[in-house]
Chains A and B, each alone.
Chain A
């Protein structure tokens, strides 16, 4: 194999060839030039490959077990005030903490799932237009980066059924990253976070659900709150509701505005049945809401795009 310097020598010669173009008959010029270009590209690629190989060969090994480089300074940590936790993760920790204090187990949602968990197990009829409302991404194999944390409901129910058999209730909160195929702007992200709640027992009611949700938001905002609902539609709950809270004082609320926080409802009997839970014996409720919005509201942020941008200028606003 020729050395790098030999190759470079050859390239020099080739470059000189270009001067001869003017002597070539006009009809053959284009072809002549083309041939030269091919040769040159070929040669330049060889040089690049040889240089890359040389670079690899010349890499000096280091002592992977040492605490510092030979003749090098001892490494140091960055100063603590450089450091920051992602506000979404901090908020998620707070949310999880509150749910745990209310007796909920925590189980993180998957980030790649299938049609069965995303739709079928949630009582979406096959091919039903309601599936379109979720703007899901799909992989070549038909897997789905889930569009809601409800994709975990079936697993939560199956995995915790033993608790019902032991006379206990199921109470699980499921935070996770979800995806929707929509264009990104200041208030829309294709990637965002949700937290799901699932509660099943022999005798829990819609009134219990409203109380649990109210308790969560009262703990979260540290004040008593008025709540209201709107009818909603989710194939996996019946009845289905949208849950709203009055705008908390910490967010500038003066008892006038309402914030839509999440969708909720009593778990559809078919969803329980599919998870092997007898709907004539047990009933439950579930809900799901966005985390990003909680953070936006708390810090008065205007642009959701900052969350996934990994920009230090933004993150350093959240130094610990």
Chain B
């Protein structure tokens, strides 16, 4: 939202405060000011001038003009009367008119914010006419898009030589760019009047709304010939006020006016006198207005008594809008109807069937409020994001529809004569009351206000207060639709007096317990990174193609209905596919050998729901190891997995792989299930060759994944049993066992361990090689073993007996 600082400040006492400080205060106590557009010098060097002489140059569109600037411009050549010569191409230039003249050296306002603003000088035209400066059109002055001629200024207040800025009440302005989002609950601040009230409160000044706003005239002398009934559904339309006018409409304003300059400074464009007047009312009071052609309205509704019926649209009902689009409505839309025939999509746009045109004789002005919930849906369904609906979706107060309609009648009397007023609401409602105690305020904010200070802060922005002991009874003004409970009042007190004036005081610290899952993740992160692996983060959302590519079923993934792109349509079922997906780009970038891992939540549909009835998740560690130079990376991935599990103190075993819906990417013949306490806690294996080809990755790429909740359950922490040291000499031996090819390695290792454990020895054991001679049906598995007795030095015979046992294993 753009707000003219000059407009905002009018009526406030702001002499004692600089604009910068004022903007800072607004930022600290009302709303974030995203930026200040400085237009202080935008209209410098532009004067009101009278055209004294004007002669068409034959066969050109140009006129040679002499203008009276009352001698204010410097560095111009003047004739014997002191007039300045300007060439002008506008068809409407004529003797006696007052125009806006951009003097030589001044900037054309429309280019003011350009990288290189256009500065007017003296030009020689048609090779012989000197032209000083230019007489400007509305577009050049940045007051709209009108390029049909130069602007004319009302002779009633135009004075040759006066600056354009002064003529229009000071155009030397700053425009505040307001971040709307934090005002979602404050419909009142979407009008300059409400915004100004807040600024008064912030400055500690008492703001007083005018009587016409607070107490609009109750009686209106209706012309009995004008008939109009109003029937509303209060849930959809809390209030509907209408005034019927006799209209002598003009297509275009005869003169540039102050309102057009305000529209321009508020980011809007002048359109026509009546549209401009509705827009100004909206900018001033936050109340959008709409004008219908009364006679068309009556005709559309048929022969019955004219009646406005506001109702929910019917499914599939069609309406042609002002912009020519035909929209198909749904039951969330609200329509304004003439005896049940739709004439407008409420809050959004009028219908073509009741549009005002050059033949319009009578006008209905609508000043109404609608359910913000319905209009929000209308906004979404039809993609209409106008200034008006933006305001309606904040929930404009019903209390001001009549006052604003009457105000409109007041300012448009030149071409609109009010005939009759109709209002769905007969009486103004009594204001809501909220009671708050002084203790509540000070206890919640941590402040030390006395009761009078609080009342003053609230009274400044027109809350009526009444003190009853330690309690304050607050009458909420009708425009504060957001205030219902004591905390709402407390916020007002804290905000208007400045939250930054509250002294920060530390409460006593609570005590906390470390979160085991975070500790686990930190441990894993440190361990894997210290062993050369790289932690990554990848999106939770994946392409459906990625799922099918790795053999997962898309129907096992939750599907996003409003995804940004197909790439991000499904919620992933496991981490490893994301890692595979990200690997090739790294290979291509020249990384031949690397490991990626990620720890994150996954939500395969197969997990069902938790106690809150939301999808159950698993916390997963995914790991991939890439090395194209090696035939199989299974054993490297396994080394990472085993070192990790042993540092965590997880008692695990490597067991036969079991395929399921989620782990389908592992090659079953070269993969394993990792179990602890008979529960599967993860999988380890090579990825299927066909899948790896899809990722352009080398055959043999391996991965593992662990369920971190299970790991946490079984992690006993690093134990010290491995660090036992005997005081007696240890024996170092190599053992090679020759066994059939299909004997699992682990059986050999377990048997070796059993032998050493049975003797109650302290030992270390490591496999040094597995060898198969060419064509052999057996393999030789070699171990290096160190052992010692905790109690004594082992005798030679004892050692031999142990070795014999070890070597006889098969």
Contacts and interface: CB of A to CB of B under 8 A. Distances in A.
Interface string B591-623: 101111010110100000000111101000000
A61 B669 contact: yes
Contacts of A153: none
Contact of B632 (A65, A69, A206, A310): A69
Interface string A47-86: 0000010010001111111111111101111111111111
Nearest to A205: B446
Contact of A89 (B373, B525, B654): B525
B269 interface: no
A150 interface: no
B182 A232 contact: yes
A91 interface: no
B532 interface: yes
B671 A64 contact: yes
A103 B380 CA distance: 44
A191 B517 CA distance: 22
B500 A111 contact: no
A132 interface: yes
A110 B600 CA distance: 10
Interface string A25-59: 00000000000000000000000000010010001
B745 A316 contact: no
B518 A96 contact: yes
The B contact surface, by secondary structure, is mixed
Given A82-B532, A84-B535, A205-B505, A239 B491 contact: yes
A24 interface: no
A105 B30 CA distance: 34
Interface residues of A, number: 116
B250 to A, nearest CB: 37
B295 interface: no
Contacts of A52: 690
Given A211-B507, A227-B504, A238-B488, A308 B32 contact: no
Interface in B500-529: 500, 502-507, 509-515, 517-518, 521-522, 525-526, 528-529
B543 to A, nearest CB: 14
A279 to B, nearest CB: 9
B480 interface: no
A274 to B, nearest CB: 13
Nearest to A309: B582
A141 B558 contact: yes
Interface stretch (B309-317, B424-432, B714-722, B765-773): B765-773
B669 A62 contact: yes
B770 A61 contact: no
B630 to A, nearest CB: 8
B670 interface: yes
A83 B533 contact: yes
Contacts, number: 352
A78 B593 contact: yes
Contacts of A102: 509
Given A77-B639, A139-B559, A312-B586, A104 B512 contact: yes
A227 B28 CA distance: 12
B741 to A, nearest CB: 8
B560 A145 contact: yes
Interface residues of B, number: 129
Contact of B534 (A82, A127, A181, A228): A82
Contacts of B559: 139-140
B325 interface: no
A68 B373 contact: no
Contact of B506 (A89, A211, A230): A211
Given A83-B528, A207-B505, A72 B635 contact: yes
A309 B586 CA distance: 10
Interface stretch (B8-16, B98-106, B270-278, B562-570): B562-570
A56 to B, nearest CB: 8
A59 B670 contact: yes
Contacts of A182: 564
A114 B613 CA distance: 9
A170 B181 CA distance: 30
A206 B493 CA distance: 13
Nearest to B579: A310
A139 B540 CA distance: 13
Nearest to A109: B601
A249 B92 CA distance: 62
B500 A228 contact: yes
B635 A85 contact: no
Contacts of A308: 537-539
Given A128-B373, A183-B564, A208 B505 contact: yes
B447 interface: yes
Contact of A169 (B394, B510, B671, B745): B510
Nearest to B578: A310
A151 to B, nearest CB: 10
A71 B770 contact: yes
Contacts of A68: 635, 767, 769-770
B640 interface: yes
Contacts of A170: 510
Interface string B637-658: 0111001000000000010110
Interface in B540-585: 540-541, 558-564, 568, 571, 578-579, 582, 585
A206 B515 contact: no
Interface string A243-268: 00000000000000000000000101
Interface of A: 52, 55, 59-72, 74-86, 88-89, 93, 96, 99-100, 102-108, 110-114, 117, 125-130, 132-133, 137-141, 143, 145, 155, 168-171, 177, 179, 181-184, 190-191, 199, 201, 203-208, 210-212, 214-215, 227-233, 235, 238-242, 266, 268-269, 283, 307-313, 315-316, 320
Q: Which 3 A-B pairs have the closest CB atoms?
A: A207-B446, A78-B532, A205-B446
Given A64-B656, A83-B529, A177-B600, 17 more contacts: A64-B684, A65-B672, A66-B746, A72-B635, A75-B635, A83-B528, A85-B525, A89-B521, A106-B515, A145-B540, A191-B539, A199-B507, A239-B495, A242-B32, A266-B490, A308-B537, A310-B538
